[in-house]
Amino acid sequence: MFIRIKQNPKSAKKNVQIVQSMRKGNSIVQKIVRHVGAALDEKELEQLKLLAQSIKEKMEAENKGLLFSPEELAKVTITKDKLAQSQEYAEADYIVNVKNLKEEDRIVSGIHDVYGKLFDELGYDNVLRNPARNVNSAQILKDIVMARIANPVSKMASVSMLEENFGVSIKLDQVYQMMDKLDDVAIERLKNISYHNTSALFGQKIDLVFFDCTTLYFESFTEDEFKENGYSKDLKFNQPQVLLALMVTKEGLPIGYEVFPGSTYEGHTLVPMIKNFRQRYHIDKVLFVADAGMMNKENIALLEAEDIEYIVGCRLKNLNKEMQDQITEHANYTQIAENVKIAKFAYNGQQIIVSYSAQRARKDAADRNKAIERLRKKLTTMKNPKEYLSNYGYKKYLKIEGTTKFILDEEKIQAAQIWDGLHGVITNNHSLTSQEILAQYNNLWQVEEAFRVTKHDLKVRPIYHWSPARVRAHLAISYLAFSLVKYLEYRVKVQYQKMSPEKIRQTLLNVQTSIMFDATKNIRYAFPSKISSEAKKIYQICTISRYLTPYILKKL
């Protein structure tokens, strides 16, 4: 097999295809085994070529070609065997009186069809030890991941949902037994599979990594060596938590993750993860991008000592007075676009790149004025304004007059205005231009989007498990679901159009099949639902054939 780029003379599109040479008689002919997509520009073409290479390698390694075995567990999915069996029934079995038909069930098949195939294709069926001896547990892992993608709820609710909506019967204790097998060795295997799946999409080379942390709280008030109270980004300061650190590419695809005790300062997670990442995958050079929470003198020194290039958010107001004066002097800036300016400053052998945006300045001013107005009202209406000093955004604009009276500090308010619209990063990279450095940092939103998917779409928190092993297993399941969601989102974007994970989820949830029973014939029929054009395209991208004609499931 090989990858072919073919352009229609009448169109600017370039089609990326996986082609196989075959002998037909005395001639060699070429057969298209997979149409990967059409590119409108060189960037899209490069993405499609890398994706095609990844697909081709998997097809060659598995020796599958176009053959695909659909989900056995999703009982309404049509395989060639089932179709052949249905064709063996007598013609009279297909003649029914609709008055005798009763709907027994309505099964969601889209999630298992698409994400289930992706689960196997990407190798996640080999996460557990000895998958050949743990077939049942591997299948349960797969079903629980499908349930988390479809509707992330507790494990108990997932078991009920699978039974009611997917035709999958699992006992809750089987889920917990599977989670106990999702141990440290299995989790390491999961991380390796995820990393290699992502690196395969980029020619086995990942040299740009985006990093961030978030906290995940528990529905508990009891701490242990793993679940600890700490600074909570969810403002759950009285509840124990863990700290999740995530690494993704600029496209938001997963590279790896680690979990730390809840009291860990997020700045202390960066260097251990980088060292582990480089050692595990034998990576020589990589550019890490992280937000300002990662910046402290200790981390910067360690990054420098490890010869790691970085772009890290810079807390400009924490710099020395001389640097602050240079940064707030607008004469030092160069206009690069309407209402946008940038400046570069040397700092201890590093570079500080600062951008000024008029739009950001208006937002900063509006946010501050809103907070001040709220504070002003509280000062005039509350007898004890001290109660509000702990609220974020209030205390810094207050000062004490006399011994008990609190008033607004107009000097601090005026001083804050000079920082409106300014944002900076610090880097030891001297090969990229200032604009390229800022562009890379701006891609950090992909990590934020990744956390939004995990915390909201997949509802990884709150966590209801208590033992450290079960907590790690729960996070591994959530990470696996996140990986599948991001991989499919990427494929759909590259091969079709941009669709959000939620849009894809809703599209696949609407791919259903009704199970009808004819009591007079003792025959159970399946009636596949009509699917949308978006669903058809997703099935096409994943090379899944969906049979749309009613068929016989079973003759009793």
pTM recorded for the entire structure: 0.72
Give the three-class secondary structure for 333.
coil
Name the token pair of 361: 């300045």
What pLDDT shows up at residue 2?
Answer: 80
- Strand pairing category for 512-518 and 523-528: antiparallel
- Count of C-beta atoms within a 10 Å radius of residue 46: 13
Calpha distance 64→254 (Å, rounded): 26
Residues 494/48, Cβ–Cβ less than 8 Å: yes
Calpha distance 367→363 (Å, rounded): 6
Calpha distance 427→352 (Å, rounded): 7
Length of the chain in terms of residues written: 556
Q: Which distant-in-sequence residues (6+ apart) come within 8 Å of 99 by Cβ?
A: none
What's the per-residue H, E or C state across 446-463? HHHHHHHHHHHHCCCCCE
Per-residue pLDDT 10s for the chain (556 aa) are: 788 888 877 777 788 888 887 766 667 777 787 778 787 777 777 777 777 877 776 666 554 332 222 333 333 344 444 444 555 788 889 899 999 999 988 899 999 999 999 999 999 999 998 888 889 999 999 999 999 999 888 888 899 999 999 989 999 999 999 999 999 999 999 999 999 999 888 776 776 777 777 777 655 545 445 545 554 444 455 567 777 788 888 888 888 888 877 667 666 677 777 777 777 777 767 777 888 776 677 778 877 887 788 888 899 998 999 999 999 999 999 999 999 999 999 998 899 999 999 999 999 999 888 888 887 877 777 666 555 555 555 567 777 776 667 778 888 888 889 999 999 999 999 889 999 999 888 877 766 676 666 555 556 655 666 688 888 898 899 899 999 999 999 999 999 899 998 999 999 999 999 999 999 999 999 999 999 999 999 999 998 988 788 888 888 8
In the β-sheet with 241-248, what is the strand arrangement from edge to edge?
254-261, 241-248, 208-217, 287-290, 309-314, 422-427, 350-357, 340-347, 334-337
Calpha distance 207→200 (Å, rounded): 13
What pLDDT shows up at residue 141?
Answer: 96
Residues 160/222, Cβ–Cβ less than 8 Å: no
Calpha distance 204→94 (Å, rounded): 52
Peptide bond into 272 cis (omega under 30): no
Calpha distance 156→122 (Å, rounded): 27
Q: State how far the alpha carbon of 264 is from the alpha carbons of 218, 260, 270, 456, 483, in Å.
A: 16, 7, 11, 23, 25
Name the token pair of 21: 């040479």
Q: For the chain, which residues make up each domain, given as ranges?
A: 2-62, 72-109+511-556, 320-426
Q: State how far the alpha carbon of 274 is from the alpha carbons of 243, 254, 315, in Å.
A: 16, 15, 22
What pLDDT shows up at residue 154?
Answer: 84
- Amino acid (one-letter) located at 361: A
Calpha distance 369→374 (Å, rounded): 9
- Amino acid (one-letter) located at 135: V
What pLDDT shows up at residue 294?
Answer: 63
What's the per-residue H, E or C state across 344-402? EEEECCEEEEEEEEHHHHHHHHHHHHHHHHHHHHHHHHCCCHHHHCCCCCCHHHEEEEC
Calpha distance 304→310 (Å, rounded): 9
The helix (H) or strand (E) run that includes residue 259 is strand 254-261
User: Can you tell me which residue has the tokens 């990589």?
Assistant: 286
What pLDDT shows up at residue 462?
Answer: 59
Calpha distance 546→77 (Å, rounded): 8
Calpha distance 494→282 (Å, rounded): 29
> Residue 377 burial (CB < 10 Å; 0-12/13-18/19+)?
exposed
Phi, then psi, of 65 in degrees rounded to 5: 60, -130
Strand partners, 5: 16
Helix %, strand %, coil % of the chain (to 5): 45, 25, 30
Q: What is the DSSP letter of 96?
A: -
